[in-house]
Amino acid sequence: MSKNIQFLNLADLIVNKAHKSNHTNLEQFLGSHDCDSISIKERIEQHISIIGENISLKKFNKLSIVNKGKIISYLHQKSSNHSGRIGVLVAIEGDINNEIEKFGKHIAMHIAALKPLGLSIENIDQTIVDNERNILTEQVLKSKKPNNIIEKVIKGKMRKFFDQIVLLEQTFAIDGSTKIKKVIEDLKIKHNCTFNISGYIRYEVGT
């Protein structure tokens, strides 16, 4: 269905409407009207009957720049100008030049491939952190090592866990060796400027 022209037109219409909308709630957005005074929900229902396939809008979100910077987009396996198998938006705040913008595009590609769960350690859902720590604690306790050693082992394993799921802690996919937070610091020094990744959104069809 991703190559069906009617579906792609619907996707483009929804993206354009979302870009102009002030709604942040999915239900409110679905109830808002497009240019023909038909709600987005009704427009989707029309296409379900026309195409003969179930269509649902599961997520709705926005990313913005507070002061100065740029929103950088990336689509993986593009179906149209506004749709693809995986879509990523990255907000770069601060001083932007061509190299930093290129870095932002690479970060978007990195996010598409490595699926980080949060920008920083502080952004990770505490439930996920607690569950992982409990699992690791149970595993390490079986070793019957002294408590001070157990604490160090758990701390080390949690560090590796964060290295896998936190964007700034991940190894940059482009060079395969440098942590993303170190790449950012190096670019700041090289260009004598200040910038940061203030947020990102990653959506994938079916998730």
Q: What is the pLDDT of residues 107-147, one digit of tens each?
A: 999 999 999 999 999 999 999 999 999 999 999 888 878 88
The pLDDT score that the predictor gives to residue 15 is: 83
Note whether 194 and 104 are same-domain residues.
Answer: yes
Query: For residue range 88-104, what is the model confidence (pLDDT) as tens digits?
Result: 999 999 999 999 999 99
Note whether 112 and 187 are same-domain residues.
Answer: yes
Number of structural domains (the chain) is 3
* Residue at 60 is within a domain: no
β-pairing, 69-80 vs 83-94, is antiparallel
Domain that holds residue 152: 125-164
Of the candidate ranges 30-34, 71-75, 185-189, 191-195, the one whose mean pLDDT is the lowest: 30-34
The pLDDT score that the predictor gives to residue 1 is: 52
**Cβ count near 123 (within 10 Å):** 13
Note whether 113 and 130 are same-domain residues.
Answer: no
Q: By C-alpha distance, which of 157, 165, 190 is closest to 111?
A: 165
Residue 70 has which token pair? 């740029």
Note whether 173 and 102 are same-domain residues.
Answer: yes
Note whether 22 and 42 are same-domain residues.
Answer: yes
Task: Output the domain CATH number for residue 76.
Answer: 3.30.479.20
Query: For residue range 19-28, what is the model confidence (pLDDT) as tens digits?
Result: 888 887 888 8
* Residue at 62 is within a domain: no
Note whether 159 and 171 are same-domain residues.
Answer: no
Note whether 89 and 189 are same-domain residues.
Answer: yes
Note whether 140 and 173 are same-domain residues.
Answer: no
Q: How far is CA 92 from the centre of its chain?
A: 13
Note whether 100 and 24 are same-domain residues.
Answer: no
Note whether 111 and 173 are same-domain residues.
Answer: yes
Residue 176 CA: distances (Å) to CA of 37, 117, 171, 172, 183: 50, 19, 6, 6, 11
The pLDDT score that the predictor gives to residue 175 is: 93
